[in-house]
Chains A and B, each alone.
Chain A
Amino acid sequence: SQQGEEDPQALSIQEGENATMNCSYKTSINNLQWYRQNSGRGLVHLILIRSNEREKHSGRLRVTLDTSKKSSSLLITASRAADTASYFCATDDASPYDMRFGAGTRLTVKP
């Protein structure tokens, strides 16, 4: 079963705008990660935020984590057409399983 659920399922914006995607999860986690997937290709790790962190930055990416609400957001600033991809959150929780992924947000950035 999935742990993280991304919202929205799809997002379409103009180049230069900011894109915000959200992830909600159900159980306590050790960390949460965001990945990008270009159509049909392997996922690429973007950023990892630990349960004791509230915010993290990497280039144009900003990730926040609110463990009280069991939610995270990924902000991509000044988006580019090359940011068009699906974005997934993944959680490492205390379950026997390894990383669990959500169904993803499909981002389209129009030039």
Chain B
Amino acid sequence: EAQVTQNPRYLITVTGKKLTVTCSQNMNHEYMSWYRQDPGLGLRQIYYSMNVEVTDKGDVPEGYKVSRKEKRNFPLILESPSPNQTSLYFCASSFRRGDGYTFGSGTRLTVV
């Protein structure tokens, strides 16, 4: 089944403790993105990647890192999480820029 898989689905962590949210797609898509969703703000893009080893900042990249060492994987790294990073995170992929996205199921992160 064609899908984008995110893990974990839920995560509660403490301020400053490094964490990684994994994202993997099995559709050979070139484009991958990370978004965060907050009430009233819609989805805001954190980082995106056009292909392996090519990443760029979105609207809200501060406090996040990404890497794209393999085409299928696009992990999101929070080096030192803070409470304002409490949010619902989505990974998404598409074959090329501008195509319809396939979204993962989301990761609900709480930083206390």
Q: Which residues of A contact B (CB under 8 A)?
A: 1-2, 30-31, 33, 35, 40-45, 48, 88, 90, 92, 96-104
Contact = CB atoms under 8 A, between A and B. Distances in A.
Nearest to A91: B98
A40 B39 CA distance: 11
Contacts of B40: 103
Contact of A2 (B42, B58, B92): B42
Q: Report, nearest first, the 5 A-B pairs whose CB atoms are least far apart.
A: A42-B103, A45-B100, A103-B42, A101-B43, A92-B98
A100 to B, nearest CB: 7
B18 to A, nearest CB: 25
B7 interface: no
A43 B90 contact: yes
Interface in B50-108: 56, 58-59, 88, 90, 92, 97-106, 108
B105 A42 contact: yes
A97 B92 CA distance: 14
A56 to B, nearest CB: 13
Interface bin, chain B = 20 to 34
Contacts of A1: 59
Contacts of B43: 43, 88, 101
A44 B43 CA distance: 14
Given A42-B104, A98-B97, A99-B33, 8 more contacts: A42-B4, A42-B106, A43-B43, A43-B92, A92-B98, A96-B56, A97-B45, A97-B58
A43 B104 CA distance: 8
Nearest to B41: A103
B71 to A, nearest CB: 17
A40 B42 CA distance: 12
A3 to B, nearest CB: 10
A5 B88 CA distance: 20
B90 A97 contact: no
Contacts of A44: 103
A62 B99 CA distance: 19
